């Protein structure tokens, strides 16, 4: 059995994360109520966080929970409530002809192809990276920080600018037309 | 010995597939966004797995940036959803078909 | 001598160019002087060349002008071949052309576009000389086409007359049909002998197989029938009478129509190789001569009679070529040029005097009023009828004697035709010059008067030539005269034998009897009448309905096919193909437009499917 070749704890962790991820994902696409879907999404995100920890990406697991589950999903819920769209959607009725069939086919081929590619290609087993080692003994956070602030500094600055632009854009987009609302609230 | 990377990769592929299927099948704009998040998470998982197998921190750095961009994207996207669907009562994307032809 | 020969060719060209470029401001007299002057000088130089040739060591002189075509194995020089045959042709072409140019100055006086006439005439003379002097088939063909073109222009000279324009077209099209024959002959000869120069062809002709030689001969015959108006391509010549009378005299009596005979005579070594070819030539010549003679007996227009007479006489020449009597054919060609030109110019004089009347029923009694035209015409009439001692008797007799030795049936046909010739020419003479005066309407009561010296001088010269022309080749001087001169040209061919003297005298007597019989028959019938349903048949008058036959079998079906193409193929097939393409593109575009459905999920699906394709491709590559 699998348990004999691999350490049991890792298998269990994998199983857990897999379960959380898959159940949550299926839930997202299957439930009718958007709020329920958001909660399923959280489940998936937690599962991914578990997987991150298992792969010694501690910092990222933390960021995943704080940013993804904690901020993004909350934002989703805000908008759902705001727009009042927590009503149910008619799932069983598909107005576009053949959409589901083609979608299923396309997705199946894509996923199947990816798996086959993975199975057939030669793994690059090569030497571990010298410059950006995964764990040089200084801890994951320090490693990641060093990489981000030295090798990928430009990307870091660019994404910072991107965030600001996104915030400004979102504010502009969500404004109501006309200034009557603004004057009253001011 | 840790579980082989292939398992996580297959898991990520399946997650990606589920997210893609949901994107194509659901009509509500918000659910579609959530499916996009699923796909992004699948990608993140793949990157982290590769970071582990190749012993390269760059994989995790990329995930860091993907998360940042995903956050920005959700912000702007939901802003658009709000401004578009304020006038309508439903979030069905099938109604946004004025660009046909 | 090369200079002289080259100048003979180039002087008419200079005349053409100077009249074309500078002639607009010149007076009629100056235009006429230039036009006639160059041709006359050309004649003088031809005489000079002739004299030089007789004293030359070899009888074949090639004058290279410039290297013209040199592609692969095809080498066609622009060169002249001065030999007895070509210089003989040059002499009578330039001589008669000069006389006709002089005549035209008077005849075309006050015509619209006097200059244009001389431009075309000079160009014609140049083309004819090129045809005759060329040393290879291609250059001859250039001249061949040139004379056809000038003939077209000159026939349609009165271009605003529908009948003249159509006649020009008809002539050109029939000529063109014949040209395909010449082209095929050239192709065959080049493919087998790899040369198109006459001398080289004659040297190598022995290597031709009999089949190929026959094909070449038949092709050349077809070309000759087109140019010389023989069966089956003769219908254009009667219509060509729409052109001014000097044109009919020069081109359609003396020069262009003889080009076909010249071609066959020139290619005599090739003709010698094909017995069936020669038989075909002889039969065509004989039959044409007979048919044309029958038609001439029923024509009412004076020029039409002369046209069919030309066809008939050329039939004699072709018949002579067919039996191998080449020098006899040339002799007849020269003497025919003299008296036929004289007949045409004389008829021109008559038409001029009667203000354009050409119908013989409205002539008569002109012998009183045209003191110079009448005797010259009389001489020509006697000559063509074959009365001794004029040129026609000797030349036609020469032909018939040679025919007798080879084919008795054709000889009998020739004698029959001679009777008819005498008959219809006498009929013409009587209706025009003798009998009662029926022309008073045309001249509005006045007396017709003789033309100017410009027109009568050529008549006199031609009359003298007609009288003395027999001297060229009298039977007892055979080897010292024309035949002897031309012999080297036909030296490649075995010369035909000659009958003994008794047979010759006997045949000559038969010729005279035939001529006199025809003459007397005409006198007795036509002395008092102008029309006769008994002796003129509508079948003969309508050219044996030959034109109608061509119209029904070729003209009408082609027109119908063209109409069909216009009505059916053009809109239904071609247009539909083009618009079909447009419609197809439009339909496919509209189909493709449906891809832009406006549904976001469709676009997303497209992306995913594209991704699937990429993955499959990668799997296939790895796998």
**Could you tell me the CATH number of the domain that includes residue A10?**
1.20.120.1200
Q: Which tokens in the block code for residue C261?
A: 């005979």
pLDDT on residue A135:
58
Instruction: Tell me, yes or no, if B11 comes closer than 8 A to chain C by beta carbon.
Output: no
Please tell me whether the peptide bond between C389 and the residue prior to it is cis, using omega within 30 degrees of 0. Answer: yes
State yes or no: pLDDT of A3 exceeds 70: no
* Contact check, Cβ <8 Å, C598/B99: yes
Q: Looking at CA atoms only, how far is residue B95 from chain C in angstroms?
A: 8
Size of interface A-B (CB pairs under 8 A): 244
Q: Can you tell me the mean pLDDT for C76-102?
A: 89
* Contact check, Cβ <8 Å, C598/B96: yes
Rg (CA), chain C: 30
- DSSP assignment string, C175-226: HHHHHHHHHHHHHHHHHHHS--BHHHHHHHGGGS-HHHHHHHHHHHHHHHHH
Q: Which tokens in the block code for residue B47?
A: 């990157």
pLDDT on residue C585:
93
Cα dihedral C285, C287, C288, C289, rounded to 10, equals 80
State yes or no: pLDDT of A124 exceeds 70: no
Q: Can you tell me the mean pLDDT for C20-47?
A: 86
State yes or no: pLDDT of C84 exceeds 50: yes
Contact between C193 and C200 under an 8 Å Cβ cutoff? The reply is yes
Give kind and range of the element (H or E) at residue C615: helix C600-622
C-alpha pair distances (Å), C314 with each of A90, C286, C292, C308: 104, 10, 10, 10
Among candidate residues C425, C482, C464, C472, the one with its CA nearest the CA of residue C310 = C425
Identify the closest residue of chain C to A94 by CA–CA distance: C601
Instruction: Tell me, yes or no, if A100 comes closer than 8 A to chain C by beta carbon.
Output: no
Band (A87; pLDDT cuts 50, 70, 90): low
Among B33-37, C209-213, C407-411, the range with the most confident prediction by mean pLDDT is: B33-37
> Quick one: A65 and A145 in the same domain?
no
Q: Write out the E strands in chain B.
A: none
Band (C494; pLDDT cuts 50, 70, 90): very low
State yes or no: pLDDT of C456 exceeds 50: yes
- Partner A, chain C 560-619, Cβ-Cβ below 8 Å: 599, 601-602, 605, 608-609, 611-612, 615-616, 618-619
Given A45, A71, A88, the domain boundary residue is: A88
Compare CB distances from A29 to B22, B44, B71 and report the shortest one's residue: B22
Range of the domain at A52: 1-88
Q: Give me the helix-helix angle, B58-85 and A153-174, nearest 10°.
A: 10
Q: Which tokens in the block code for residue C345?
A: 């110019």
Q: Which tokens in the block code for residue A122?
A: 């030669």
> Quick one: A4 and A80 in the same domain?
yes
State yes or no: pLDDT of A127 exceeds 70: no
pLDDT on residue B91:
73
Among candidate residues C406, C428, C419, the one with its CA nearest the CA of residue C300 = C428
> Quick one: A11 and A80 in the same domain?
yes
* Contact check, Cβ <8 Å, C615/A114: yes
Q: Can you tell me the mean pLDDT for C81-85?
A: 87
> Quick one: A145 and A79 in the same domain?
no
Contact between C9 and C129 under an 8 Å Cβ cutoff? The reply is yes
- DSSP assignment string, C310-357: HHHHHHHHHHHHHTT-HHHHHHHHHHHHHHHHHHHHHHHHHHHHTTT-
> Quick one: A84 and A148 in the same domain?
no
Give kind and range of the element (H or E) at residue C74: strand C74-82
C-alpha pair distances (Å), C202 with each of C187, C265, C487, C497, C600: 16, 13, 15, 22, 87
Domains located in chain B, CATH noted: 5-89 (1.10.287.3510)
Q: Can you tell me the mean pLDDT for C430-438?
A: 84
Q: Can you tell me the mean pLDDT for C557-572?
A: 86
Band (A21; pLDDT cuts 50, 70, 90): very high
Among candidate residues A13, A75, A159, the one with its CA nearest the CA of residue B37 = A75
Rounded to an integer, what distance in angstroms lies between the CA atom of residue C278 and that of residue C301? 35
Identify the closest residue of chain B to C602 by CA–CA distance: B24
pLDDT on residue C476:
62
Given A22, A57, A88, the domain boundary residue is: A88
- DSSP assignment string, A126-180: -PPPSTTBS-SSS-HHHHHHHIIIIITHHHHHHHHHHHHHHHHHHHHHHPPSSSH
Q: Which residues contact C606 (CB under 8 A, 6 or more apart)?
A: none
Tell me if A158 is assigned to some domain. yes
State yes or no: pLDDT of C608 exceeds 90: yes
Among candidate residues B22, B97, B67, B74, the one with its CA nearest the CA of residue A79 = B74
Compare CB distances from B58 to A26, A55, A147 and report the shortest one's residue: A147
Band (A171; pLDDT cuts 50, 70, 90): confident
Instruction: Tell me, yes or no, if B36 comes closer than 8 A to chain C by beta carbon.
Output: no
Buried b (16+ CB within 10 A) or exposed e, C532-549: eeebeeeebeebeeebee
State the CB neighbour count (10 A cutoff) for residue A121: 11
pLDDT on residue C74:
84
> Quick one: A153 and A79 in the same domain?
no
Band (C480; pLDDT cuts 50, 70, 90): low
- The model carries a pTM of 0.69
More confident residue, B74 or C61: B74
Buried b (16+ CB within 10 A) or exposed e, B22-60: bbbbbbbbbbbbbbbbbbbbbbbbbbbbbbbbbbbbbbb
* Contact check, Cβ <8 Å, A109/C612: yes
Among candidate residues C297, C179, C168, C290, the one with its CA nearest the CA of residue C241 = C168
- Check the CA dihedral C607-C613-C614-C619 and report its sign: positive
CA C137 to chain centre: 17
State yes or no: pLDDT of C439 exceeds 80: no
State yes or no: pLDDT of A146 exceeds 60: yes
More confident residue, C359 or A149: A149
C602 contact residues in B (CB cutoff 8 A):
none
Tell me if A94 is assigned to some domain. no
Half-sphere exposure of C563 (CA within 13 A, CB side): 6
| pLDDT tens by residue, C391-401 | 888 888 888 88
Compare CB distances from A106 to C602, C605, C619 and report the shortest one's residue: C605
> Which single residue is written with the structure tokens 């001029």?
C352
State yes or no: pLDDT of C113 exceeds 60: yes
Band (A186; pLDDT cuts 50, 70, 90): very low
State yes or no: pLDDT of A181 exceeds 50: no
Identify the closest residue of chain A to C610 by CA–CA distance: A106
- Partner A, chain B 28-87, Cβ-Cβ below 8 Å: 28, 30-31, 33-35, 37-38, 41, 44-45, 48-49, 51-58, 60-61, 63-65, 67-76, 78-83, 85-86
Tell me if A109 is assigned to some domain. no
Contact between C85 and C330 under an 8 Å Cβ cutoff? The reply is yes
> Quick one: A9 and A77 in the same domain?
yes
C78 beta partners: C66
Contact between C349 and C373 under an 8 Å Cβ cutoff? The reply is yes
Instruction: Tell me, yes or no, if B88 comes closer than 8 A to chain C by beta carbon.
Output: no
The ipTM estimated for the assembled molecules is 0.91
Q: Which residues contact C508 (CB under 8 A, 6 or more apart)?
A: C397, C401
Q: Can you tell me the mean pLDDT for C459-479?
A: 76
Indicate the burial class of C561 (C-beta count within 10 angstroms; 0-12, 13-18, 19 or more). Answer: exposed
> Quick one: A80 and A147 in the same domain?
no
- Partner B, chain A 21-50, Cβ-Cβ below 8 Å: 21-22, 25-26, 28-29, 34, 37-38, 41, 44-45, 48
Instruction: Tell me, yes or no, if B86 comes closer than 8 A to chain C by beta carbon.
Output: no
Of A94-98, C48-52, C121-125, C366-370, minimum mean pLDDT range: A94-98
Q: Can you tell me the mean pLDDT for C169-186?
A: 92
A82 contact residues in B (CB cutoff 8 A):
82
> Quick one: A68 and A148 in the same domain?
no
DSSP letter at C134 equals B
Given A88, A120, A149, the domain boundary residue is: A88
Longest dimension (CA), chain A: 71
Identify the closest residue of chain C to B24 by CA–CA distance: C601
C604 contact residues in B (CB cutoff 8 A):
23-24
Size of interface A-C (CB pairs under 8 A): 41
Among candidate residues A131, A110, A133, A113, the one with its CA nearest the CA of residue A121 = A113
Contacting subunits of A (3+ beta carbon pairs below 8 A) = B, C
A96 contact residues in C (CB cutoff 8 A):
599, 601-602
Longest dimension (CA), chain C: 116
Among candidate residues B40, B37, B38, B42, the one with its CA nearest the CA of residue B13 = B42
Tell me if A72 is assigned to some domain. yes
* 3-state secondary structure (DSSP) of residue C358: coil
Tell me if A42 is assigned to some domain. yes
pLDDT on residue A1:
45
Instruction: Tell me, yes or no, if C503 comes closer than 8 A to chain A by beta carbon.
Output: no
Among A112-121, B3-12, B38-47, C470-479, the range with the most confident prediction by mean pLDDT is: B38-47
Q: Which tokens in the block code for residue C575?
A: 């247009």
Percent of chain C, pLDDT > 90?
27
Instruction: Tell me, yes or no, if A6 comes closer than 8 A to chain B by beta carbon.
Output: yes
Q: Which tokens in the block code for residue A124?
A: 């690059």
B80 contact residues in A (CB cutoff 8 A):
173
pLDDT on residue A179:
47
User: CA-based angle C344:C87:C132, to the nearest 5?
Assistant: 70
Q: Can you tell me the mean pLDDT for C31-49?
A: 89
Please tell me whether the peptide bond between C232 and the residue prior to it is cis, using omega within 30 degrees of 0. Answer: yes
State yes or no: pLDDT of C12 exceeds 80: yes
CA C197 to chain centre: 23
* Contact check, Cβ <8 Å, A29/B76: no
State yes or no: pLDDT of A174 exceeds 80: no
Among candidate residues A83, A101, C605, the one with its CA nearest the CA of residue B94 = C605
Identify the closest residue of chain A to C612 by CA–CA distance: A110
* Total number of domains in chain A: 2
Q: Can you tell me the mean pLDDT for A48-72?
A: 93
pLDDT on residue A90:
62
Band (A182; pLDDT cuts 50, 70, 90): very low
Band (A91; pLDDT cuts 50, 70, 90): low
Tell me if A60 is assigned to some domain. yes
Q: Looking at CA atoms only, how far is residue A15 from chain C in angstroms?
A: 28
State yes or no: pLDDT of B14 exceeds 80: yes
């Amino acid at each position: 059995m699998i348990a004999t070749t691999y350490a049991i704890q890792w298998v269990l962790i994998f199983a857990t994360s897999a379960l959380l991820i898959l159940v949550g994902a299926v839930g997202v696409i299957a439930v009718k109520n958007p709020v329920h879907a958001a909660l399923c999404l959280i489940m998936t995100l937690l599962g991914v966080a578990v997987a991150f920890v298992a792969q010694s990406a501690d910092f990222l697991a933390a960021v995943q929970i704080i940013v993804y589950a904690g901020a993004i999903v909350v934002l989703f819920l805000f908008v759902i409530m705001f727009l009042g769209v927590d009503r149910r959607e008619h799932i069983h009725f598909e107005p576009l002809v053949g959409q589901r069939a083609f979608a299923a086919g396309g997705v199946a081929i894509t996923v199947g192809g990816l798996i086959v590619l993975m199975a057939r290609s030669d793994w690059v087993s090569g030497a571990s990276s010298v410059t950006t080692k995964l764990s040089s003994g200084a801890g994951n956070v320090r490693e990641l920080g060093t990489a981000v602030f030295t090798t990928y500094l430009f990307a870091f600055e660019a994404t910072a600018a991107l965030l600001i632009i996104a915030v400004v854009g979102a504010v502009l987009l969500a404004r109501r037309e006309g200034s009557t609302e603004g004057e009253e609230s001011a | 010995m840790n579980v082989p990377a292939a398992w996580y990769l297959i898991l990520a592929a399946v997650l990606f597939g589920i997210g893609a299927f949901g994107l194509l099948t659901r009509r509500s704009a918000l659910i579609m966004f959530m499916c996009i998040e699923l796909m992004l998470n699948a990608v993140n998982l793949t990157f982290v797995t590769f970071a582990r197998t190749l012993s390269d921190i760059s994989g995790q750095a990329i995930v860091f940036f993907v998360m940042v961009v995903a956050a920005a994207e959700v912000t702007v996207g939901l802003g658009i959803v709000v401004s578009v669907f304020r006038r309508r009562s439903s979030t069905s994307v099938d109604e946004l078909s004025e660009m046909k032809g | 001598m090369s200079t002289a020969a080259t100048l003979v060719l180039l002087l008419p060209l200079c005349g053409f160019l100077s009249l074309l470029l500078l002639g607009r401001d010149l007076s009629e007299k100056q235009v006429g002087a230039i036009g006639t002057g160059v041709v006359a000088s050309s004649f003088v130089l031809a005489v000079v060349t002739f004299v030089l040739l007789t004293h030359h060591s070899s009888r074949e002189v090639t004058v290279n002008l410039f290297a013209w075509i040199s592609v692969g194995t095809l080498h066609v020089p622009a060169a002249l071949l001065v030999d007895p045959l070509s210089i003989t042709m040059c002499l009578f072409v330039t001589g008669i052309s000069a006389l006709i140019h002089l005549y035209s100055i008077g005849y075309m006086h006050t015509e619209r576009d006097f200059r244009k006439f001389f431009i075309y005439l000079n160009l014609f003379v140049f083309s004819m000389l090129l045809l005759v002097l060329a040393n290879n088939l291609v250059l001859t063909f250039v001249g061949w086409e040139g004379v056809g073109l000038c003939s077209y222009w000159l026939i349609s000279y009165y271009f605003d007359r529908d009948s003249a324009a159509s006649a020009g077209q008809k002539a050109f099209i029939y000529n063109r049909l014949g040209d395909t024959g010449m082209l095929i002959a050239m192709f065959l000869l080049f493919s087998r002998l790899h040369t198109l120069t006459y001398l080289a062809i004659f040297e190598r002709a022995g290597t031709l197989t009999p089949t190929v030689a026959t094909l070449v001969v038949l092709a050349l015959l077809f070309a000759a029938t087109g140019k010389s108006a023989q069966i089956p391509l003769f219908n254009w010549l009667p219509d060509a009478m729409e052109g001014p009378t000097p044109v009919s005299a020069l081109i359609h009596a003396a020069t262009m129509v003889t080009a076909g005979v010249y071609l066959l005579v020139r290619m005599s070594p090739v003709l010698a190789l094909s017995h069936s070819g020669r038989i075909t030539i002889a039969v065509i010549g004989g039959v044409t001569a007979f048919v044309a003679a029958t038609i001439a007996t029923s024509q009412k227009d004076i020029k039409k009679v002369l046209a069919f007479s030309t066809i008939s006489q050329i039939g004699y020449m072709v018949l002579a070529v067919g039996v191998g009597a080449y020098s006899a054919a040339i002799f007849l060609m020269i003497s025919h040029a003299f008296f036929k030109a004289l007949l045409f110019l004389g008829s021109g004089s008559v038409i001029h005097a009667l203000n354009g009347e050409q119908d013989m029923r409205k002539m008569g009694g002109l012998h009183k009023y045209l003191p110079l035209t009448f005797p010259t015409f009389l001489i020509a009439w006697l000559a063509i009828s074959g009365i001794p001692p004029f040129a026609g008797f000797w030349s036609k007799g020469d032909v018939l004697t040679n025919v007798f030795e080879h084919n008795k049936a054709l000889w009998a046909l020739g004698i029959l035709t001679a009777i008819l010739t005498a008959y219809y020419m006498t009929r013409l003479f009587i209706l025009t010059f003798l009998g009662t005066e029926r022309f008073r309407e045309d001249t509005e009561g006045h007396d017709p008067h003789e033309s100017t010296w410009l027109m009568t001088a050529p008549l006199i010269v031609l009359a003298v030539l007609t009288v003395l022309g027999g001297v060229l080749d009298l039977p007892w001087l055979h080897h010292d005269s024309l035949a002897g001169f031309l012999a080297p040209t036909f030296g490649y061919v075995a010369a035909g034998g000659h009958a003994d003297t008794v047979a010759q005298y006997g045949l000559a007597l038969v010729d005279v009897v035939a001529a006199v019989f025809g003459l007397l028959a005409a006198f007795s019938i036509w002395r008092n009448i102008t029309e006769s349903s008994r002796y003129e048949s509508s079948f003969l008058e309508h050219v044996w309905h030959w034109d109608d036959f061509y119209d029904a079998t070729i003209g009408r079906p082609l027109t119908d096919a063209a109409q069909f193409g216009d009505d059916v193929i053009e809109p239904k097939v071609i247009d539909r193909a083009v618009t079909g393409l447009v419609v197809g593109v439009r339909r496919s575009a509209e189909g493709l437009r449906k891809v832009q459905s406006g549904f976001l999920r469709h676009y997303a699906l497209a992306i995913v499917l594209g991704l699937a394709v990429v993955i499959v491709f990668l799997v296939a590559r790895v796998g």
